[in-house]
Every structure is written in C-alpha cells, then in structure tokens.
Chains A and B, each alone.
Chain A
Amino acid sequence: MAERVLTIEGLRVSFDTYAGEVQAVRGVTLHVDEGEVLAIVGESGCGKSVTAQTIMKLNPMPPARIVDGSINLAGHDIVHASDKEMQKIRGNEVAMIFQDPMTCMNPTTQVGKQIVESIKLHRHLSSAEAKAEAIRCLEQVRIPNPEERAKQYPHEFSGGMRQRAMIAMALSCNPKLLIADEPTTALDVTIQAQIMELLAELKDKINTAIILITHDLGVVAGIADRVAVMYAGKVVETGTTDEIFYEHKHPYTEALLRSLPSTDQGKHEPLMSIPGTPPDLLAPPKGCGFAARCRHCMQICKEEQPPEFELNAGHKASCWLLHPDCPSAEERGAK
C-alpha cells in the first residue's frame, strides 16, 4: 500500500480585497499517494493554483486567509505551521515548479549556485559535495554538459532547458511531493513532449508524488493517474484518469471534454461550447457554481449546493443529477 503523502480536507481560502472577500477556494478535499500523479484541471480562476500555493503557504497572508479546513503533508499540519517550520518543509517535503521558468530563477546567479543554495540549506552537505550533487541533479534531468551548464546564467538557457533546471532544483532535496503548476504552458509542443516524458520518467525512478496543475486535458491523458476537476473554487469531480475521460458524471467535466476538437471529429461540425463565463467569486452563487451554464440545470441546483456522491471507490462527483430521487432526463424534459 502506497503511503499517503498529502491530505487536504474542506480547505477554504479567501482573499480580502477592497471589493470584498474573494472566495477563491470553497471547500476542497483531496489526497495524493506516493508515486502517484494527481492532475488538477480547470479554467483560469477556478482556484487550482491557489490550492497548490496554499499547500506550500506561498500566497501572502494577508490578503490570503485560510478560512477553514486542514492540510496534512507527510505528517505536518500546514495550516498551523509557523513561518520557520514552513521554511523547513518547503524544499524538503514539497517543492514546486512554475509555469514561467524565467521569472522563477535569479537572473544574477549561476544556475548551479542556485541549486547548491537549496541543497546546502536542507541537506547539510559540504560545499564540494553540494556542488557535485547539483551537477548530478542537472544530469538527472538530462541537461547536456552539466558541469559547463551549471556555471551559466538562466538567460543562457532556452525555455525547455530552464524548465529542466527548475525540475532539477525542485528535486534536489528529494521532496515527497512535487507540485507542477502549468509546467509546459509556456513551452512549444515539441519541448512540452520532452518535459512531460522527463516527468513521467522521474516519477517512476524516484517515486515522488506529483500534483500536476494544468488546463490541457491532452497532457493529463498522457501522465495522470487520477484527476480532480475544479470549477469555481470546488472540486466537482474526481476519479481515475479513465473514469474522468470515459465515465464522467458531472456536466462540467463532460462539457470541458466535448469542447475540445477530437482528432477524428468531422470537419466543421460545431464544437460544443459552454455558454457564459464562470461565476464571480466575490459573490459566489448560492447553489451549484456551474448551474448558470449547465444545460441540465434544475431548480434545486440554483438553491442548494450539491453534496458529493460516491459513484464507486474513489470516483466522486458533486451534482444533483446523481441524487437517487433525481427525475430522469425525460421527466425533466431535457433536450
């Protein structure tokens, strides 16, 4: 049985702004096991990045505020951890790679030195050992001539190389959990394929748990073991990758998958689009967040938030359509 690395329960995160309280995350429950890739998918503003940043407490508090819920990362209580404790946890237990590798590295420091810095901070190695370790890390992510490359500055690296260096840096202290926040969005498809292959290979080799945040369902299909679909600050459906792609039960998941042109789709057949835009989280809707855009919307959807229904072990969806008393499609007069 794989060890559970991360458990999030009922997490609510809000931002206090001049306009009022933005409820970015409104009750998220997740878990990730060792050696597993959990993909969090959703549109921009659905709270997927905020959830990930909260795991590392990277969002400045204030304005951010954990309203409720608990995060357990490898035995550490993140919600109540002090800044000092967090410093130890970051890097050691959890590391993150970001979308834009250029803005996440220090442009005035050699890449190798930046890796050495984090190794020395967490692993108590001598300078020479740390340096050798940094080069080994660069080698592990298949950067050619790691000795030479370690002496170069970030601007001398190409986008794909920088992302590799970021991964090397993140893995330098053997974290139990790696959070990849849109790691390939800024990259070209051929480079994206290189990076995704690298992540898949590293996952098998070092058995880290990975949370992959993305909006690209193609990337998800290739690497993820389980998927959590988020919408308006909530996880609306979660299950194994196969369950989400082939047996999805939530109308949002369905709409999201159908809005992509599939490779065998007939030409000029209109794509299924989702009308409207996501709700404003300053004043989240009383009922289901997706109700206003959902084609199956019923009266209860607008009034009450749907509970989570367990379809089979691990596959859960929050939608009133799954309630045993829900009238069938014919009775609702659906199209």
Chain B
Amino acid sequence: MKNEVLVQAQDLCKYFKIGGGRMLHAVEDVNLEIHRGETLGLVGESGCGKSTLGRTLMGIYKPTKGKLIYDGKEVDLTRKKERFAFAKKAQIIFQDPYASLDPRMTVGSIIAEGMEIHGMYDEKRRRERVAELLDIVGLNREHANRFPHEFSGGQRQRIGIARALAIEPEFIVCDEPISALDVSIQAQVMNLLHELQEKMGLTYLFIAHDLNIVKYISDRIAVMYLGSVVELATSDELYANTLHPYSKALLSAVPIPDPHKEAQKHRQIIDGDVPSPINKPKGCAFSSRCPLACDKCREAAPQLREAAPGHFVACHLV
C-alpha cells in the first residue's frame, strides 16, 4: 500500500531563541505527509529549514507548535518513554561522515550501540548483526574492530547507514547523505540506499540541495523556501509542470551536465539572496525576489493548496 500515511506533520513549527527576545523561525506551519515505502525529497537552499524540518520529523527537535503524527498516533516528544519508542522507528543519516561518528569507538560498537540501548538481542547475536549489517552496506566483517579514521568518506557514510539500519527502523531521514562525497562515490551510496529501500521497505525523507539527485531518487518532492513548503508534487509532475516561481527559478538554475542542452536552456536568474528567517518579509516569503510579485503577495502569505490532483502549491498567482 503506497498511500498509507506513515509520518505526518500538522502545522509544524520550530522556532529557535536567538537572544534579545527574538526568534528565528526555522520551520513555519508545515503540513506534510510521507507515505509508507516512498521517498520524499526535500529541496531548498541553505537556511531554508529543510534540515530542521527533517530533524523535527524524527524527534531530535521538539516542535514549537503543531503536531507530529506517526503511523496514525500523535508523538508526544515531551514524554521520555514515547520519545524512546519513537527513536527506534525513526533514524537519521547525517551529512558529514567525518563529524557524525565518534572517533573513539570502534565501528562495531558504533553500529551496536543502538541495539544495546534498545535492548535488542543478546550480545552474541548483536555481534552477528553487526557483521550482517557490514555485509549489507558493502564493508568487510573485519572492519568492525577498526576506528572511523581508518576509513574514507564513502566508507564512513556506509558505516552511518549501517548504524541507522541496526535497530530496524521504518523511517530514515537522509540529511544530505551524499553532498560531502565525490561524484563517483555518490553513485555507490545512492545505489545502496535504493537497494536497501527495496529490500527492507524503508521510508525515506531525502534532504538535498542537488536537484538532479533528488529527482532521481524521489517519488515526490517538496520544495522549501524560508521555512515553508512552497510546492509539493510527484517528481515527474514537479519537473514537467512547475508552478511556483521559486521552484521554476531553482530548477532552471541547476546546471545540466550536457553542453548542448545547457546552451539551449533559458536560465531564469533570480536576483538577491534569501532573506533572513529572523525578519521575514510580510506576506509571501518569496515576494522580495519574485519576478511576478504583486501587492497581494506582499500583504498576505499564500497557503499551500491543491492546484492539480496531488500537486500542492503556495502561491497567489497560480
């Protein structure tokens, strides 16, 4: 069943206090559904809140407002027990494979730690699981006794993946898992993630800024701008029938590794930078850079609505 909702965000907000009584609105009123077994791509520029949303959806951050609903039940992250149980279902793969592994632990203990905490299996079986997991992610069983510094970036990312898989989660947030890797290694990790999804029926939230990669791996894509989701559609629909002006600019800005296509392409360049999430513009967040912005855009913030079946967009002009 592809349409069963596994993770749902309802008016989810995450603000950070930044001193002086001011708030940084990292994620604002996000409504999102992630279906079981699908890959939802989340794209946007740096600072748009995509990592914060990812972390909130898997319980690292407590939402300031709004609800996180997992498998039909609301997750109350203030309760320790519930948080603990939720942590077993949702895991994350981090961007930086150098910073996300404890340099003083062996690879074996890094992978086994989650199982220990959740009281899964006895010690002997855990060791076997570690060996199995290393096989699954394409490393050698002997690597369990080594330390992270002995591995290359791509191999470390595989260790991170093995760690996330160890406690048999259903939902994995991939927070830019390949942007720190070289092109040839990226393809290895992408293929691995895809293979694992087929085998284990995992659900991914795939955060990235490389749109070619996101299009390739995702079933549906959500585009974020300054804390809000501005467009959400299946990946083919999003590319074929882009509605939001920001998505259009973002997609046309992506360089295509093909000189002929690149020469023909009409590139829509948007001026300026992303405004600060501390002092957001009134109305539509994109109005300060949007080539089509009118008075209405500067007054009222548009809501995400269904413009075509399954295609959601937040823009007054669509």
Contacts and interface: CB of A to CB of B under 8 A. Distances in A.
Most buried by A among B194, B213, B249, B258: B258
Contacts of A260: 183, 187, 212, 257
B154 interface: yes
B154 A194 contact: no
A255 interface: yes
B30 to A, nearest CB: 20
Interface string A226-265: 0000000000000001100100000000011101111101
Contacts of B183: 43, 215, 217, 256, 259-260
B184 A255 contact: yes
Contacts of A261: 190, 212-213, 215-216
Contact of B187 (A161, A215, A271): A271
A272 to B, nearest CB: 7
Interface stretch (B13-21, B57-65, B264-272): B264-272
A219 B274 CA distance: 22
B176 interface: no
B278 interface: no
A154 B275 CA distance: 18
B293 interface: no
Contact of B253 (A193, A216, A263, A275): A193
B186 A257 contact: no
A190 B191 contact: no
A222 B262 contact: yes
Interface residues of A, number: 44
A275 B188 contact: yes
Most buried by A among B183, B186, B216, B261: B183
Contacts, number: 120
A156 interface: no
Contacts of A255: 184
Contacts of B259: 221-222, 241-242, 245
B257 A190 contact: no
A159 B274 CA distance: 11
B187 A158 contact: no
A254 B177 CA distance: 24
B226 to A, nearest CB: 13
B46 interface: yes
A272 B187 contact: yes
Interface string B134-177: 00000000000000000010110000000000000000000000
A226 to B, nearest CB: 12
A158 B275 CA distance: 10
Given A188-B209, A190-B249, A193-B269, A263 B184 contact: no
Given A221-B262, A271-B191, A263 B256 contact: yes
Nearest to A45: B182
A221 B273 contact: no
A218 B152 contact: no
B216 A196 contact: no
B194 A268 contact: yes
Interface in B2-47: 45-46
Contacts of B235: 267
A260 B212 CA distance: 8
Contacts of B258: 221, 245, 262
Contacts of A190: 45, 249-250, 253, 269-270
A197 interface: yes
Interface in B237-288: 239, 249-250, 252-262, 267, 269-271, 273-274
Contact of B184 (A216, A265, A273): A273
B184 A160 contact: no
B257 A220 contact: yes
Nearest to B249: A190
Given A188-B45, A190-B250, A262 B184 contact: no
Closest 4 CB pairs of A and B: A218-B255, A261-B216, A273-B187, A274-B184
Interface of A: 43-44, 158-161, 188-194, 196-197, 215-222, 241-242, 245, 255-257, 259-263, 265, 267-268, 270-275, 277
Given A218-B262, A268-B194, 10 more contacts: A188-B46, A189-B250, A193-B252, A193-B269, A245-B257, A259-B183, A261-B215, A262-B212, A270-B194, A274-B187
Interface of B: 45-46, 152, 154-155, 182-188, 190-191, 194, 209, 211-213, 215-216, 235, 239, 249-250, 252-262, 267, 269-271, 273-274
29 contacts: A188-B209, A188-B274, A189-B45, A189-B209, A190-B45, A190-B249, A190-B270, A192-B255, A193-B255, A217-B183, A218-B212, A218-B255, A218-B262, A221-B256, A222-B255, A222-B256, A241-B259, A245-B259, A255-B184, A259-B183, A259-B184, A259-B186, A260-B187, A260-B212, A261-B190, A265-B216, A270-B191, A273-B188, A274-B187
